[in-house]
Amino acid sequence: MSYKKPANRKSLRIRKAATRDVREIHRLVNSFAKREQMLPRSLNEIYETLRDHIVCEDDGDVTGVCALHILWEDLAEIRSLAVKADAQRQGTGKRLVKSCISEAKRLGIERIFVLTYNPDFFSSLGFVDIDKSELPQKIWGDCLRCHKFPECDEFALIRKV
């Protein structure tokens, strides 16, 4: 069994994504999508929603990404949370989600939801199960265009901000 050296916490930085990050975001998100752990995103979609994204960088290397997508005046979604394998289990994902929660609070968003294959991770951050039918803005906006609709196998969770 090999020992994975933890990242130097001082070198980690959460920041808004920039255009220079798009290709790495695309690679990272779609590496998880290839394993059917999240939905794929096109380069075009990432460019169009770039302002939604934040990244974690470690000495200039993007090690994680997460997006906060606003759907309504009181509702936002956390999307595309992805952390490189060698940066996992070090708190990067939690830091990214907490940063999105802080931004939602600053914007006056009351509720944040997520569709995920990893509900335990989000439960540890205060999210609770919800039926997808309680998210009509999501269903009629994005879900109709998804290749998995109407047989979605993701778990829906929500949290008050």
Taking alpha carbons only, the member of 38, 84, 44 closest to residue 62 is 84
Residues 49-63 pLDDT 10s: 999 999 999 988 999
Report the pLDDT value the prediction gives residue 144, as an integer from 0 to 100: 43
Nearest to 82 by CA among 65, 57, 101: 65
**What SS3 state is found at 1?**
coil
Number of neighbours of residue 122 by Cβ within 10 angstroms: 25
Distance CA 87, CA 73 (A): 34
Beta carbons of 4 and 25 less than 8 angstroms apart:
no
Residue for token digits 């009509």?
Answer: 136
Contact at 8 Å (CB) between 82 and 29? Answer: yes
Question: ω into residue 150 within 30 of 0, thus cis?
Answer: yes
Q: Which residue has the tokens 């990242």?
A: 7
* N-term to C-term CA, the chain: 40
> All domains of the chain, ordered by start, with CATH?
10-160 (3.40.630.30)
Q: What is the pLDDT of residue 151?
A: 62
Q: pLDDT digit string (tens) for 116-141?
A: 989 999 999 999 999 877 875 555 44
Structure tokens at 71: 């759907």
Residue-level pLDDT, tens digit, the chain, 161 residues? 333 444 445 578 999 999 999 999 999 999 998 998 888 899 999 999 999 999 999 988 999 999 999 988 999 999 999 999 988 988 999 999 999 999 999 999 999 999 898 999 999 999 999 987 787 555 544 544 555 555 666 889 999 99
What pLDDT shows up at residue 3? 30
Q: pTM for the whole thing?
A: 0.84
